[in-house]
Each structure stands twice: as structure tokens, then as C-alpha cells.
């Protein structure tokens, strides 16, 4: 079988995780990377032994040996670069959010429809954690009963000091939202994916917790502490905290909150689903287990074990019970699911997020921003 040759654009924080994931997937060859920060790209190529290094999007797109490209650039570049990748006839794996506006997301869907040979995925990587898939399998087997209430959170602390800074706070780079677009997008994607419900009404409160920040004059890597160097005081427009109440198309109700100013949390991403028979919950910081709640106290904690996991979840786990699999493994599973779908001639389930799925998350993000602005429910 011919391997799928892959390139990556953007060698910042998440670009490195894409390198590691691709290196673990036997059906792909990672052949090239590109970054406008060429020194950074050269350093990553040296570290990982990558054959070809490019300085620009156009150079990597002109490489005829490349079949697929990952877009790991900041949000405002997703619309333009994703279009270029599709028009070059290469499969697209875009980082989330798909775009910064729903109008742009729809444009990309239209453009992709002109290129039926091109497949596309947006990297909502948490979907492919085996215990998340186990919860989805149990919900689909009706063991939970009717989905009634969905709650949860995604909390981090990387913006808790006024010396912390990220392009995610700038509307021109990130879009009109920080916390919802950045991490709320993962939360909304995962709960829709596991329940099969769509969020159709939202009421939101968005808060800029630190209104003025010390923006470093030297570009700082995502999630890295300030180096104490020179800075400029900068007014913050986007939110670091958001609370959202919602309703779904199948009659469930819910609430979630996201925070990037929660001391002690790196990736406290979790949800609980209450059904008419059972409850299930999962939390990324202990991601090898799911909790089952039952009235009467007969609750259970299920630990990931390839021997006992549901049959259709087995492809997403391999290590024996007690040997931790985690964030990187779910990430790899998601990228593998995308390329396996292509390698199998586009047959079977698209378990990864499609452009349409991801466009809906952008639409929800816009509705949440609008609800906060007008202090009203917004129906989609």
C-alpha cells in the first residue's frame, strides 16, 4: 500500500503534537514542515529528522509529493490556508476552530464541494479517547436511557496572571472569542459527538477577568510563563471565562463553563450526562476512567481495559489496563481515524469531526458571543 505523504504548516505549540502523532501512524509518511518562523521550523526538522523544510505556505503547497496537509497556524489564518490546501487538491486536517466566523466556515464547505477527491477533518482530538468512545457506545446502546441533562467544564490556568499573554486574547488573530473558541469548542464538540444531540439554544455570560495585560514585546510560546522581559500594557477584548446554559434539539438541557484563569488546572476538561437510567462522567485529567451513577448507590468506576472495552472501541486502545494511555494517544487516534478513512477508500464512519461538524461549532461560538452581547437567549 502506498503511504500517504503528509506535511504540516505551523510549528508552534500544537505542531509538535502533530509530528509525534504522524510518526506513530504506519499508513503516513511525514515528509515536510513549514513555518514563517523558519529558524523554528529548521530546529524542529533537526530534532525530528524531517526531510523537507519550507518557509511559506505556497512553497509547501507546491510540493507535488505531498498528499495531505495539517494546518496548525493561529485561527485567523485557517480560512485562507485551508482554502489553499483544498484548492491544491491535498487532504486537509485543520486545527480548531475551523474559522473565526460562520460565514467563512460555509465558504470553505462550498469550496470543498468543488473538490470531491479531497477529504477534510478538524482536529477535535478528545473525541478519540477510548473512554469517551466507551461512553458514546453505551449511550448509543441505550444503557443511559434518554439524555436529560448535560453539564461540565473546561478549566485551565495559563492566563491567570496579568503577565500571561496569548494571541487568543486578540480578536484580530483569534476571532471574537478566546475561551469559548479555544476550549469551549472542544466541550461542545465532545458532548454533541457522544450524545448525538445538537445544541440549538444558548444563553451566555462572557467575562474578561483581567482587562489590562502585560503583552511581551518578544513573541511568547503558547502556555509558557513570562520571561520577565519588556512588555506593553494592552487592553484585553476577548473573554477568559464563560458560562453557558443551553438546550438541545432532542429536548435535553445543560450548562457548562470554561475558564483560563483557574489556578491548578492544566486541562480540567470534563462532562457529566444524566440519562433516564444512568449517569456517565469523564474528566480529561483522569482520562482512563468513566464513572457510572445509578439511583440506589450501585455506582461504578470503569477503568480502561482493552479486554473489556466495547467491541467497536477496541481500535482506539492498545496498552494493557494500568499502563496509562492519555492525551497524546487520543490525539494520535483522531489523526489515525482520518487517514484510515482515506486509506480505506472513504468507506465506513467518519468518526472524526468533518467540516460540517466544525462549522456548526463556529456557529455556536457566534451565537454565544451574540447572547452575551444582547443578554438574551439565541436560537440556532
Ligand X SMILES: NC(=O)c1ccc[n+]([C@@H]2O[C@H](COP(=O)([O-])OP(=O)(O)OC[C@H]3O[C@@H](n4cnc5c(N)ncnc54)[C@H](O)[C@@H]3O)[C@@H](O)[C@H]2O)c1
Residues that bind ligand X (CB under 6 A): 9-15, 34-37, 40, 57, 72-75, 77, 95-96, 123, 125, 182, 221-222
Instruction: Name the minimum Å distance from CB 325 to ligand X.
Output: 16
Q: Which is nearer to ligand X, 177 or 317 (CB)?
A: 177
141: which 3 cell numbers?
446502546
State which residue, 125 or 195, has the beta carbon closest to ligand X: 125
Q: Minimal distance in Å, beta carbon 69 to ligand X?
A: 11
For ligand X, which is the closer residue by CB, 77 or 378?
77
Cα–Cα distances in angstroms (integers) from residue 99 to residues 82, 226, 254, in the given order: 9, 28, 25
Give the chain's largest Cα–Cα span. Answer: 63
Q: Which residue in 89, 125, 56 sits closest to 338, CA to CA?
A: 125
Q: Which is nearer to ligand X, 11 or 150 (CB)?
A: 11
**DSSP bridge partners of 255:** 151, 245
- Given strand 289-293, what is the order of strands in its sheet? 300-303, 289-293, 279-283, 268-275, 147-155, 253-259, 241-248, 199-207, 378-379
Q: Least distance in Å: CB of 295 to ligand X?
A: 36
DSSP for 38-73, written as a single string: HHHHHHHHHHHT-SEEESSHHHHHT-TT--EEEE-S
Buried b (16+ CB within 10 A) or exposed e, 110-140: ebbeebeebbbbbbbbbbbbbbbbbbbbbbe
- Looking at beta carbons, which residue is closest to ligand X? 12
Q: Which is nearer to ligand X, 201 or 226 (CB)?
A: 226
- Distance in Å, CB of 340 to ligand X, minimum: 19
Q: What is the nearest approach in angstroms of ligand X to the Cβ of residue 18? A: 9
Measured from the CB atom, is 74 or 275 closer to ligand X? 74
- State in angstroms the smallest separation of the CB of 106 from ligand X: 19
Give Cα 246 distance to the centre of its chain.
20
CB of 105 to ligand X, least distance (A): 14
Q: Can you give the length of the chain in residues?
A: 380
* Complex with ligand X: residue 10 or 275, whichever CB lies closer: 10
Amino acid at each position: 500500500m502506498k503511504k500517504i505523504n503528509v506535511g504540516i504548516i505551523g510549528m508552534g505549540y500544537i505542531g509538535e503534537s502533530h509530528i509525534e502523532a504522524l510518526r506513530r501512524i504506519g499508513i503516513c509518511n511525514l515528509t515536510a514542515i513549514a513555518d514563517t518562523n523558519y529558524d523554528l521550523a529548521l530546529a524542529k526538522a533537526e530534532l525530528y529528522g524531517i526531510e523537507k523544510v519550507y518557509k511559506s505556505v505556497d512553497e509547501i503547497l507546491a510540493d507535488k509529493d505531498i498528499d495531505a496537509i495539517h494546518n496548525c497556524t493561529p485561527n485567523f489564518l485557517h480560512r485562507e490556508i485551508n482554502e489553499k490546501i483544498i484548492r491544491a487538491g491535498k487532504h486537509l486536517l485543520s486545527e480548531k476552530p475551523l474559522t473565526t466566523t460562520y460565514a467563512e466556515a460555509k465558504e470553505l464547505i462550498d469550496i470543498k464541494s468543488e473538490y470531491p477527491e479531497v477529504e477534510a477533518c478538524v482536529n477535535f482530538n478528545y473525541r478519540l479517547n477510548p473512554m469517551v468512545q466507551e461512553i458514546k457506545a453505551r449511550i448509543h446502546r441505550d444503557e443511559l436511557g434518554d439524555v436529560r441533562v448535560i453539564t461540565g467544564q473546561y478549566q485551565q490556568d495559563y492566563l491567570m496572571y496579568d503577565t500571561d499573554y496569548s494571541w487568543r486574547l486578540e480578536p484580530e488573530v483569534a476571532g471574537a472569542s478566546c475561551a469559548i473558541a479555544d476550549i469551549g469548542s472542544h466541550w461542545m464538540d465532545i458532548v454533541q459527538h457522544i450524545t448525538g444531540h445538537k445544541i440549538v439554544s444558548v444563553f451566555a455570560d462572557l467575562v474578561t477577568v483581567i482587562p489590562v495585560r502585560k503583552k511581551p514585546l518578544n513573541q511568547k510560546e503558547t502556555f509558557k510563563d513570562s520571561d520577565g522581559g519588556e512588555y506593553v500594557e494592552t487592553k484585553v477584548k476577548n473573554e477568559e471565562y464563560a458560562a453557558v446554559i443551553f438546550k438541545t434539539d432532542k429536548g435535553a438541557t445543560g450548562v457548562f463553563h470554561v475558564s483560563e484563569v483557574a489556578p491548578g488546572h492544566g486541562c480540567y476538561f470534563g462532562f457529566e450526562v444524566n440519562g433516564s437510567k444512568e449517569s456517565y462522567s469523564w474528566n480529561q485529567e483522569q482520562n482512563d476512567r468513566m464513572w457510572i451513577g445509578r439511583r440506589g448507590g450501585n455506582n461504578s468506576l470503569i477503568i480502561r481495559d482493552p479486554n473489556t472495552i466495547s467491541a467497536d472501541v477496541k481500535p482506539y486502545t492498545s496498552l494493557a489496563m494500568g499502563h496509562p494511555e492519555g492525551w497524546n494517544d487520543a490525539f494520535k487516534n483522531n489523526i489515525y481515524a482520518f487517514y484510515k478513512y482515506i486509506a480505506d477508500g472513504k468507506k465506513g464512519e467518519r468518526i472524526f469531526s468533518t467540516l460540517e461538524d466544525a462549522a456548526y461549532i463556529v456557529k455556536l461560538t457566534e451565537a454565544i458571543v451574540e447572547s452575551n452581547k444582547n443578554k438574551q437567549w439565541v436560537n440556532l
